[in-house]
Each structure stands twice: as C-alpha cells, then as structure tokens.
Amino acid sequence: MCPLPVKPRALSDSVDSGSPTLPSRARRHLALRLDDAWLRFQTRLAIQRGRVETVIPYTGYGTTSWVRVLARVVRSDARDTGTGAQASALRPLQDGMRGWRNFTSAPVAHAAVRVTVAGTVHDVEADRGGVVDAHIPVALDAGWHTITLQSGGSSIVEAPVRIVADDADFGVVSDIDDTVMVTTLPRPFLAAWNTFVLDEHARTPTPGMAVLYERIVRTAPSAPVVYLSTGAWNVAPTLSRFLSRNLYPAGPKLLTDWGPTPDRWFRSGKEHKRTSLERLAAEFPGVKWLLVGDDGQHDEAIYAEFAQRHPQNVRAIAIRQLSVGEAVLAGGRSKSPAQPTPGVPWIYSPDGAGMSAQLEQMGIIRRGDRSADVPEESD
C-alpha cells in the first residue's frame, strides 16, 4: 500500500513561538461556535420538515491495493431518495436546479456510513460537514468499478471508482474555473455566482479543452484525469453533469468543504490545492502529472512550487492564457515562476487547440490523431 502524506500539523505546531493571542483564539472559537450553531439550526429545520439521511456519492479513485471513497451525507426531501422510475422522473428537475439549492440540505455531522467494496462492508465516519473521505484497503483490478454506500436508513447509492494500474506512469490534474469552464465574473464574486445562482446549463466550456483531454486519454488510456478545484463539495454533482455534458473524460473531483477551521474563518483554496497535489504525489509516486491551469493569479505559483518539490512527478505544466477581459475580472495575471524547474516544460495557450499542438510536439499526444478535433457543443 502506498503511504499517505503526513497529516497537517496540529494547531499548536503552527505557532512559531508562544501561545496564540487571546484575540486570535477568540476568533477561532467564535467561528466554530457560529458554524456549529448554524449546523444545529439546519438539522432541526430539516428534521421538522421530514428530511431524511441521503448519501450523495462522488467519484473515487485508488490503486489495486486501496481505494479513496468520497461522498457527502445530508438530509434531503424523501422524494429525492427514490429509485427506479421515481428517480428517473425526478432527475430532469434536479439537473435543472440552480446552484443555491445544493446548499439548502443540512449535512449530517459524523454520520456512520457503510461502504461495500467488492462484497466487503467497511464502516467509515463522515466529518462535521457530512463529508466522507475514507482510505480503504482493498484488492481491485485496474479500471472502473462501482461501490455502494448507505447511511442510517438511507437508500443504497452507487459511486464510480477509478482504479489506477500499478504500472501507470502518466496522469492529468486539471483546474476547473477558467481552465475547462469559461467564467466572466470578478473572482471575488465568482464562487458565489457559480454556486448560488448560475444554472449549470448556462456554464460555458473552454474552447478545445474537452477535445484536448480526449486526445490525451486516447493516447494514454491508463492515465487518470483528476479535477482539482477550490469549489465546495456541495456543487460536485453540478460540476459532474457539466463535465459529462461537454464530453470531458470522467474522473474524480477534489473539492473542499467551506467553513471555518480551528485557526481560520474560511478554508484556504490555495492550501487545498497544495495539499491535494502533495497527496497525489505520495499516493502515486510513479506517476508523472500533466498539470493544467490558468494564469489568473495562483495556478502558476502552486504548480511551480510543486514541480520544484517533486520534479519526478511532473511531466509538464500547461497554462491557459486568459483574455484581457478575463484577466481583468480575475484580478490580473499571476507572475511567471521566477525559477522554473529544469526538465519540466511549460506551455501556454489561450485554448485547447493551442495546447494540443504543443503537447503533440512533446509526445504527450499521439501525432496525427486528430479525428476528434472538432468543436464540442454544449446543451
């Protein structure tokens, strides 16, 4: 089994010297108290309205010796937990829901979840936000598998899991906003708009990026594609439908849980990306990743830092260049890395077609394989 990365340091370890000041401690405690109060209110209201425990499954991943299970347990309307014809009838309505509805379901803190993998049942526990992120030892063949999850009296749900072959040596890590999905809002308002307002059908795919990813996985069928975003787990179903609708390869999404931490009012999106990359490097030490992002503020710096720490795990870095208007809305462009890592090539292009041509020259995409190079359509 591949060793997992070291857990983040305890709060006391993050302080350089002495104890935290009283104002800092008060802010920490106030944030957690407010969040706990809100969760209690959500739960009481959900129970009064007859909401029942529901498991929202996410795409997991793993190796032939372990699997990472991802899901979220919430309280939702009993009608939404149906199966068969009932679920099929509800799906068009659910698919058209605006993002804010994803945040109206109360999470079930520390829910006990039964995960069945290859006929064996494993008991895991969700965190205080209802998020399940469990590492389970299991023997599975490489490829796609289906596991099941159940919490309390909830319906049994299925989740896809991508098992990476032991000899896989290449994979893709892709940002979402402004990389595979075009956004046209200032960054301070982007997350709120995409999460609470925008209908998923109104989201626009970045030109050529789905074709680029499809060419990559045709060239390297064993390559996993991982989508890394600072978005909240609440919008994972919406993002999954967007990616599927626009013909992006299936793959796990590594999102984050909004809310306070012991020392912050809100979680750090940049730190989430850094720790996720570190974990992938520890879980798949033999894989070289193509890191794909954009030049709006942070991706270049995060990828450069990772490449400097783990040059053996980076095949190349591909950065989508934002238009002038997109860069203004994103708060400007990030600064190019001052000390690029020797042996790790960087490519820049405003769209997937430009990246595709450069990656073809590097041998990451098979030359002459252009049968899929047609503009993708969105619903």
- 64-82 pLDDT tens trace: 999 999 999 998 876 554 4
Return the pLDDT at 250: 97
- 326: which residues sit within 8 A by CB, 6+ positions away? 178, 182, 183, 184, 296
Return the pLDDT at 87: 36
CATH of 170-362, one of 3.30.56.10, 3.30.70.1350, 3.40.30.10, 3.40.50.1000: 3.40.50.1000
Domain(s) labelled CATH 2.60.40 in the chain stretch across: 52-163
3-class SS string, 188-200: HHHHHHHHHHCEH
Q: Which fold has domain 52-163?
A: Immunoglobulin-like (2.60.40)
CA 120 to chain centre: 27
Q: For the whole prediction, is pTM greater than 0.85? A: no
Of 194, 187, 245, 184, the closest CA to residue 379 belongs to 245
Domain(s) labelled CATH 3.40.50.1000 in the chain stretch across: 170-362
Return the pLDDT at 222: 95
- 279: which residues sit within 8 A by CB, 6+ positions away? 4, 5
Distance (Å, whole) CA 157 – CA 169? 32
Distance (Å, whole) CA 110 – CA 124? 9
* Dmax (CA) of the chain: 64
**pLDDT-flagged residues of the chain (< 70):** 1-35, 37-38, 41-43, 46-48, 50, 78-104, 184-202, 258-269, 297, 324-340, 368-379
Q: Is 85 exposed, middle or buried (0-12, 13-18, 19+ CB in 10 A)?
A: exposed
Phi, psi dihedrals of residue 320, rounded to the nearest 5°: -80, 125
pLDDT tens per residue across span 114-155: 999 999 999 999 998 899 999 999 999 999 999 999 998 899
Return the pLDDT at 273: 95
Distance (Å, whole) CA 228 – CA 251? 10
Distance (Å, whole) CA 313 – CA 307? 7
Return the pLDDT at 275: 96
Q: Residue 118 has which token pair? A: 């290859």
